[in-house]
Amino acid sequence: MTSMEHTITTADNTGDHGSISRQTFDELTHYFKYASSAYSPVCLRPNGNTLVLQFGNHISDVLGFIARDDDRKELVVALRGSASITDAMLDANILLVPFLTPGVSLPPKARVHAGFLAAWNTVALQITATLAAQRQLHSGHRLVVAGHSMGGALATIAAVSLLQLFPASPVMDQTRIYSYGAPRTGNEVFAEYVNAEFGARAFRGNPLVHTNDGVPTMIPTSLDRLTRKIHPGIEYWQHVDPPSPSTTLRCAAGGEDPCCSASIPSGGITPAHATYLGITVPTPFCL
C-alpha cells in the first residue's frame, strides 16, 4: 500500500478505542488544513494546490472553495465554519426537516438540521456546476469534502449530495468526508444512511474532538423527535494533548461511542474548539 492510496491501515480497522496509525493522523492533519483555510476570504493556493473556485453567498454567509490536487488526484470542497451573526442564526435553527436539495433523494424519513440544509442549498448549484465541469476535465479525480464546526456539518450534507450527483466509477474513487468539531447534523435515519453509504470514508475528524470541545455534543441526543440528532461516521478523538497518533483514538463505528467524546458533558464552545491537530483556526494554508 502506498501513501497515494489514502486508505485506513489494517491496524485502524482491527478494533475500537485503539490509537491510530501515523498515516491516518497525517491525513486528518492534511485535510484539516483545507478546513482551516476555508476561513480565509481569499485562498489562492489551498494547501499548495490549484484554486478552482472561491464560492460564497451573501445571504447565508456560507464561504469556501474548491481546490484541485493533481498529485493526489482529488477535487476538494472546503466549507467555512461559523464566523458571523448570520451563521449563528443558522446554527440555532435546529428543527429537523426533510433532506430536500436538487437532484438528491434520501430515505423518506431522513431528516437534517434545518439551518445547515438551508445554508448548503444557497451554494449547492454553484458547487455542483463547477465540479461537473472539473469532472469532465479530470475524470479520475475523486471528491473530498472538508470543514470545521458548522463547516463540518455542511461537509456531511455536501458529501451526501455529491455522492448521488457524482457516483463513483472505475476511474474515480468514492467521495470522502473529513469533518472537524462539527455539531450533530441529522436524525438516526440520516446517520444510518451516511454510515451505510460512506462507512470508513466518513472521517469525523471532529472527534479529534480536540479533548473537551463541546460543539460536537452541544445539541444533545435527548431532544424530542423534531430536533433529536445523532452523529454518523467513525469518531477520531484526540483525548489529550499534544496531538499525535498515540493520543488520538479510533472509536466504535456508528458515530455515538459513549466511551469517546460523548463521555464528557458538553461545555459548548471551549478553547479546544479553536485548535485541531496543533493548528489554530483560522490559520491559512494558501501559498
**7 is a domain residue:** no
pTM for this model (two decimals): 0.90
Q: How far is CA 280 from CA 33, 66, 67, 146, 179, in A?
A: 10, 21, 21, 16, 16
Give the structural domain span for 61.
30-280
pLDDT score of 261 more than 60: yes
pLDDT score of 258 more than 50: yes
Here the cell at position 148 is 470545521
pLDDT score of 248 more than 90: yes
Q: Tens digits of per-residue pLDDT, 58-77? A: 888 999 999 999 999 999 99
Q: Tens digits of per-residue pLDDT, 152-174? A: 999 999 999 999 999 876 556 77
Alpha helices (H) in the chain, listed in sequence order: 10-13, 22-37, 85-92, 114-121, 124-137, 150-165, 188-198
Residue of 90, 99, 77, 96 lying closest to 162 (CA atoms): 77
Domain count, the chain: 1
Average pLDDT of the chain to the nearest whole number: 87
**171 is a domain residue:** yes
- How far is 127 from 104, CA to CA, in rounded Å? 14
**274 is a domain residue:** yes
Q: Tens digits of per-residue pLDDT, 98-127? A: 999 999 999 999 999 999 999 999 999 999
Identify the three-state secondary structure at position 242: coil
Q: Residue 102 maps to which CATH number?
A: 3.40.50.1820
**17 is a domain residue:** no
Here the cell at position 150 is 458548522
Long-range interactions of 98-102: CB distance < 8 A, separation 24+: 99/157, 99/160, 99/186, 99/190, 101/157, 101/161, 102/128
DSSP annotation of 44 reads S
| pLDDT at site 90 | 72
Here the cell at position 84 is 458571523
**142 is a domain residue:** yes
Cβ-count burial of 261 within 10 angstroms (0-12 exposed, 13-18 middle, 19+ buried)?
buried
**16 is a domain residue:** no
| pLDDT at site 192 | 92
**249 is a domain residue:** yes
**201 is a domain residue:** yes
pLDDT grade for 245, boundaries at 50, 70 and 90: very high
